[in-house]
Chain A
Amino acid sequence: MRQWWQQGSPWVWFSASALLVCLGLFMALLGLIAVKGMHHFWPAPLVQFQLTEQSRPQLGRLVRSVSDRAERKDRAYRLVDRGDLIVDASSQLPGRYLLLEAHQLLSDRPKQAVWVQLQDGRTFYGKQVGQETAPSDAGLWLDLGMAAPVLISAVEIRAYWLPNQLSFRQKGAVFWQEWRYFLTASPSQNQSAGGIFPAIFGTLVMVLLMAVLVTPFGILAAIYLHEYAPKNWLTQLIRTSVYNLAGIPSVVMGVFGLAFFVYVLGGSLDRLFYADQLPAPTFGTPGLFWAALTLALLTLPVVIVATEEGLSRLPQAQRLASFALGATQAETIWKVVAPQAAPAMLTGLILAIARAAGEVAPLMLVGVVKSAPQLPVDTQFPFIHLERKFMHLGYHLYDVGFQSPDAEVAMSLVYAIGLVLLTLILLLNLSAFFLRQRLRRKYRLID
């Protein structure tokens, strides 16, 4: 036993388990988001339920089982979503979601059950009246379990299918179609339906603008620090400080952005150039440009660090060779050094973009909104509207999760948004990773 302890056997076990637990937790997290995000678009079968023995069966979507441990263990409930309600004075309906007991659910799943979503994002579940599989020209007659069937006109319908009849492949087709819709449409129904296109677009535009701002400044600052600045302790101190700034909290940068860029800079801009529109602020309020500028400042150290790393990896012999051929310092930097450090700069830029795409906290302060009426880029002069507010994937996720009136829809929608965000950032990181990989190989060749 002594030997067991002395050889550190339990510690090895502990550390191995720690690694397993860490990776396991992360994988579980990613898997969960992937599965739940995907699941959101997989056509769910519709079930039938009866509120009382006498009432007419209605259709609904089984959301999940609920067991309330605090109350009684043996009692399991089913949470059923019966779609948006067509308000009818005669029926006193308690709400969209019902907590049903097992016996209230009927076992048969009618083939005629229809899932239909309108252009405005409302969703209905009902039984199709008549035998046609496609809606006739007039529209779709739906039996919603109320007194009389309802006619939904064809122009109003965005999508519709009969989930209980679909084969696996047909479900797959619906799945992809819904994904496409999700990625390309605007949100509707108070964010709880529709797509997330403005959020994706806003994220991309903001991040691109940030990249445009951060690239020249980051790269030139790094070149200054590494090539032009005198090599002494002061430069070293400044360099360390800049590197340390890579770790400052993003929200602090947001605070600075709001207090300085928006209030001070934006306020002065307004007074100088947009005085006719005051007191309505133009740039004196959070907007796209300030958000991009703030994130650019936040990610500047990332770009500087990566670029400097690339510059210092470059063998001194390359610079000497260039000088020996009669090149000036500028020619050495721009013709020999910079091209060779370009992959490192690109890596830094991608890392900066990946970081910026995932940041939410500073954006909450400097320009993101839950729903923007207009996209920041459109066909109207000057095409890019720097002062507009915009939507952002990460903030959209937060907003849908926390401010949505419809918590149940929000719950599964948020996973889908999270999946999109995660995929975006993962792709960016992967590309940075492989770029760095290639970079290392290339330098091994030179050394």
Chain B
Amino acid sequence: MWTRKSRDCISRVAVTLVGYSVLLAFALIFIFLLWQVWPLFQPAKISVQSLESASVTMVDSYSVQSTNGHTATHPLMLDNGLDERVQLQADGYFQWYLRVGDDWQLQMQGHLGLASWQAATMLSGSRTLLVADKNAQVYSWFRLHQELIVRPRITLRQMELQALIPVSADSFFSLHPGQLDWYHVTTGKHLAELQLPDTPLQQLQLSEDRQLMRLHWGPDHSQAYQLQWQHPAVAGGQLWSAVHYEGRREAAYVWQTAAAADDSNPRLSLIPLTSGTLKAAGYAMLFATPLAILAAVFTAFYLPERWRYRTRATMEMLESMPTVILGFIAAFLLAPWLEQQLMLFFVLLVLVPTVLVLCSALWFHWRQRQQQQAEQPGAVLVLSLVAGILTAFMLAPALEHAWFDDSLLLWLAGQGIDYQQRNALIIGMAMGLAVIPSIFSLTEEVVSQVPASLTQGVLALGASRWQTLSSMVLPVAAPGILAAVLLGLGRALGETMILIMATGNTPLLGFDPFEGMRTLTASLALEMPEAAVGSSHLKVLLLAALLLLVLTFLINTLVSLLRQRIRQRYLQL
């Protein structure tokens, strides 16, 4: 007896444990990603370093002269520690030099457009010149070849400025009486501040990696600080806003990983990738939704039971078609074909529905003449579909000849429209095919489960089958169909292989059908293995993964809710 009881107990404990561990594993996905992503949003901090780490050598030191020290007429010589140097006059006249070999060559000269200024500096290791005017406005310029490009102004928090001190390639300190402020140049954000004693500061030293700072107020009064700013590439809000990076003419959304960037500073805006994902999913849905819903409605409502069953089984099987195959077909078969036959594609798109409408009208008319019920005949339909397609094949070259001088592509190029071989149309079709089975299956399910009592009631009133469908069945099944579309959308958002293979993978903004894109998923698959552990790049990728996870999870939850709702609705009927 005891053994039976204990076996029961063991089973309960074991199963419960496994159940918990599985649930925990699922929860862990969310928790782990959140935990990894969290540091991205940590603000910068300057904190007192109590332990004096003497071993760290300070490489850059800045002597702070007394206030108004440099208002004298002598020109100020600034350099970035590498190869650029600017000589700045008190009246705003500047000369910009570049080091070539051992001597300094004048690159450009001119006037900054400021009548007077308080302090100026060059950011270390970059080509940016910072100048603060009397109103505590910090202007930043950088040299692009022979041109001076201006970036957004930064308004300092305090008027009385003692010095501007470069910290890194895109951040600087502004030293005020009793306070040190830390600013980010690219986004203009105030990063952190440090209250200082009233004694005038004499010297500021920075370590090579910019993690340590030591301030000297006198020969035996100094203090070390830690500068904490783990992810400068994203912390200023670069993820979602347009940023004017050095070396670019204007603010933009840029996805450029460290490996691809010219100065190894990654530019990590998620906007291009997100827009790519939305664009790809959008075109796929545009292609798949009408086809799948119409096909499903027809299957559920018109096909005889046997055929309905077969179609459904086929579609279920197609749902598990590996997308790598679809992607390959899209990239190597569809893309070259579409480039050659773009005209045919558009003609098909217009002509086939037109021919269908015409044929159906003719057929209807003819049957009425014959005093017969206008039933829907399979053979005639197939014939007219084939006829439509064939006509399109015949018409397309002629139309292309007549309208576009034999080449639609050249004509498009003439209009300034860039046609890329791997573009959104290709994705629309290939990924559309991938999501059709999902949308189809669910739509078919909800439409065919509409209680028969409902349809029979309407049919009994003398409505045609389509009228029954559109007036009764579809409104009742609408939440279910919405769920099906959302299910497809969720799948399209998360699809990867097709997108890696057939998009061209260039991060482009916008919804141009003839251009490719780079999606979140493709970036994840392609860049994750290369991103260094702990880097901002990796963390941003994890953030992208978390976004996708949450988004698809929400969509799926919505799908579940809608399905539950439709089930209840059917039970009530």
User: Interface on A for B, CB 8 Å cutoff?
Assistant: 1, 3-4, 6-23, 25-26, 29, 32-33, 69-70, 216-218, 220-221, 223-225, 227-229, 238, 240-256, 258-260, 263-264, 286, 297, 300, 304, 328-331, 333-334, 351, 354-355, 357-361, 364-365, 394-395, 397-398, 401-402, 411, 414, 418, 421-422, 425-426, 429-430, 433
Contacts and interface: CB of A to CB of B under 8 A. Distances in A.
A402 B501 CA distance: 8
A16 B298 CA distance: 6
Contact of A242 (B18, B26, B464, B493): B26
A221 B556 CA distance: 21
Contacts of A32: 329, 333
B41 interface: no
B48 interface: no
B295 A10 contact: no
Given A12-B298, A254-B524, A333-B11, 15 more contacts: A9-B361, A9-B364, A12-B360, A14-B294, A14-B356, A228-B12, A249-B495, A252-B494, A255-B542, A360-B324, A394-B324, A398-B501, A421-B325, A422-B322, A422-B325
Interface string B416-436: 000000000000000001001
Contacts of A20: 381-382, 385
A22 B440 contact: yes
A264 B28 CA distance: 13
B560 A248 contact: no
18 contacts: A7-B374, A9-B361, A11-B294, A16-B381, A19-B298, A21-B385, A22-B440, A217-B22, A224-B20, A238-B23, A241-B557, A254-B525, A259-B33, A358-B320, A358-B321, A358-B322, A361-B496, A397-B328
A251 B328 contact: no
B127 interface: no
A425 B291 contact: no
B466 A8 contact: yes
B525 A411 contact: no
B221 interface: no
B15 interface: yes
A229 B18 CA distance: 12
Contacts of A243: 556, 560
Interface of B: 4-5, 7-8, 10-12, 14-16, 18-23, 25-26, 28-29, 32-33, 36, 290-292, 294-295, 297-299, 302, 311, 313-314, 316-318, 320-329, 331-333, 340, 352-353, 356-357, 359-361, 363-365, 368, 374, 376, 378, 381-382, 384-385, 407, 409-410, 433, 436, 440, 464-467, 469-470, 487, 490-491, 493-497, 500-501, 521, 524-525, 528-529, 533, 538, 541-542, 545, 548-549, 552-553, 555-557, 559-560
A6 B317 contact: no
If over half of A's interface residues share one DSSP class (helix, strand or loop), that class is named, otherwise mixed; here it is helix
Given A20-B382, A22-B291, A360-B497, A256 B29 contact: yes
Nearest to B303: A19
Q: Closest 6 A-B residue pairs measured CB to CB?
A: A249-B494, A224-B19, A8-B466, A358-B322, A330-B11, A18-B294
Contact of B295 (A22, A252, A256, A394): A22
A258 B26 CA distance: 16
B365 A19 contact: no
B16 A228 contact: yes
Contacts of B26: 241-242, 245, 300
B328 A429 contact: no
Contacts of A414: 328, 332
